[in-house]
Amino acid sequence: MYLASTITRSCLRLSSRTSTLWNRPASSSAGGGTLTDTHVEINGKQYAVDGITNATQPLLDKLGQRLHHNPIHPLHLIKRRIHEYFEKTYRKPNPSSAPLFTCLDDVHPVVTVQQNFDELLVPADHPARAKGDNYYLNKDYLLRAHTSAHQAEFLRSGLDAFLVTGDVYRRDCVDRTHYPCFHQMEGVRLYTSAELFPNEVHPPSLFVEGSEDTAERQSTHNPATTEVLEKELKSTLEGLVRHLFGADIKTEWAGEYFPFTHPSWELNIYFQDQWLEVLGCGIMRQQILDQAGASSKVGWAFGVGLERLAMILYGIPDIRFFWTTYHRFLDQFEPARNDINAQIQFTPFSKFAVCHKDVSFWTTAGKDFAGENDLMEIAREEAGDLIEWIEKVDYFENPKAKPGDAKFSSYCYRLNFRSHERQLLNTEINDIQLRIRAKVADKLGVILR
């Protein structure tokens, strides 16, 4: 998972999906952004372009589409189902017994580098900050790469329990489960000592003197604090997946690493004969709470990808579907308009053939070719949602060349194009392919073969 210790972002593993031609609404810039030579403009605010700027116009067009606010959109349904779980299960004590968690789902996706990384203790040299993995507006601002970016501001505003849902943006591979804009929900819950140990007449201190963290706990956390927080976190999230997938769903916890939590875990569920990772979570770093003025409390946090859950729950095979306005997709979710828990299984409505084209080139890079995400981006820019997946199909080193020679190593990527709505024409794909080739030669510093 993102920001995890082993960065496995290069993901030419599965296959598929996405498009410009593919049903972008006529006016896609409602609430979107505009890129000019000198600035990026979003919501009337201008961000001066600098050497770091890499947000693209197609991406800026996604801003403000508010998919998860459309009452029959599967992302909306998932969001509501999660809200429903938290509302039903967690209430403030009597007499108010109001829902404990505040639900925020309209928080703007432009954040500062400080919010996205620094306030979450992501080290200055952490690979998650790379330009190749994010959409920067300039050196100070980016499109949030995760909803964790809002933890600190809502803690500072005094909230103790909240859920933040929003669109997040990452440069990534092209396949059926990855899209440069997707949706996450962040959950945070803080506790005082009395809240964490409700049955103790004299609740223990949450904290101890400490200097070094161990694998099991943060140094200043009382072992009992960590133990109860872990139990509360895990039972909350196991309850959530049972609420979504049914009481029989098999779950498994695995240790993880995130800069903002310790200890950290991921939750896997067993679905259709395989284990699938569905969320990351952990005990919040006390430094984050201290910085946000909540030093007397402790807390846990989690982050979950909504497309992933919706794809599993509704059997949606390709992430591009979330962006279509084609009625044959959204019509299938009509039954949920009046019942968010309606049982729906998506029925594919098309089986158009894939059309593939290869792009091969020489590079000096050897095995360390760093331009893979740039290639993905170029393909998305030129093909929009017509590109389904991209896979590396060949690599070799030229026996007659030395490292550093222009023709030292050869890469071949297969670009697979398909629309779910119509058969693509060879001529249109040829045109797209030519434009991709030209941009690859121009932008990646490689020699086309």
Residue 2 near ligand DAH by CB under 6 A: yes
Residues 375-414, interacting with ligand DAH (CB under 6 A): none
Task: Please tell me what DSSP assigns to residue 334.
Answer: G
Is the Cβ of residue 1 or residue 111 nearer to ligand DAH in the bound state? 1
Is the Cβ of residue 101 or residue 302 nearer to ligand DAH in the bound state? 302
Q: Residue 288 to residues 103, 259, 300, 447: CA-CA distances in angstroms? A: 21, 11, 11, 47
- Least Cβ distance, residue 41 to ligand DAH (angstroms): 27
CA 11 to chain centre: 14
State both tokens at 201.
Answer: 């007449």
- Least Cβ distance, residue 261 to ligand DAH (angstroms): 4
Task: Please tell me what DSSP assigns to residue 136.
Answer: B
Identify the residue among 166, 259, 303, 384 touching ligand DAH (CB under 6 A): 303
What is the rounded end-to-end Cα distance, in angstroms, of the chain?
35
Q: In the bound complex, which residue of the shown chain has the CB atom lying closest to ligand DAH?
A: 303
Amino acid identity of 137? L
State both tokens at 272.
Answer: 């259709």
Residue 122 near ligand DAH by CB under 6 A: no
Amino acid identity of 2? Y
Identify the residue among 160, 172, 186, 307 touching ligand DAH (CB under 6 A): 186
- Which helix or strand (DSSP H or E) is residue 381 part of? helix 372-383
Is the Cβ of residue 53 or residue 264 nearer to ligand DAH in the bound state? 264
Task: Please tell me what DSSP assigns to residue 32.
Answer: -
Residue 309 near ligand DAH by CB under 6 A: no
Residue 101 near ligand DAH by CB under 6 A: no
- Least Cβ distance, residue 149 to ligand DAH (angstroms): 8
Amino acid identity of 301? A
Residues 125-184, interacting with ligand DAH (CB under 6 A): 146, 148
Nearest residue to 121 (alpha-carbon basis) of 319, 261, 306: 261
Q: How far apart are CA 164 and CA 101, in angstroms?
A: 10
- Peptide bond between residue 58 and the one before it cis (omega within 30 degrees of 0): no
Is the Cβ of residue 188 or residue 444 nearer to ligand DAH in the bound state? 188
Residues in contact with ligand DAH, counted by CB under 6 A, come to a total of 15
Residue 281 near ligand DAH by CB under 6 A: yes
Is the Cβ of residue 25 or residue 127 nearer to ligand DAH in the bound state? 127
Residue 259 near ligand DAH by CB under 6 A: no
Q: Which stretch in 76-84, 101-109, 276-284, 399-407 sits in contact with ligand DAH by CB under 6 A?
A: 276-284
- Least Cβ distance, residue 10 to ligand DAH (angstroms): 16
- Least Cβ distance, residue 400 to ligand DAH (angstroms): 44
Nearest residue to 72 (alpha-carbon basis) of 334, 257, 308: 334
Q: Residue 410 to residues 360, 361, 363: CA-CA distances in angstroms? A: 7, 6, 6
Residues that bind ligand DAH (CB under 6 A): 1-3, 146, 148, 186, 258, 261, 264, 280-282, 301-303
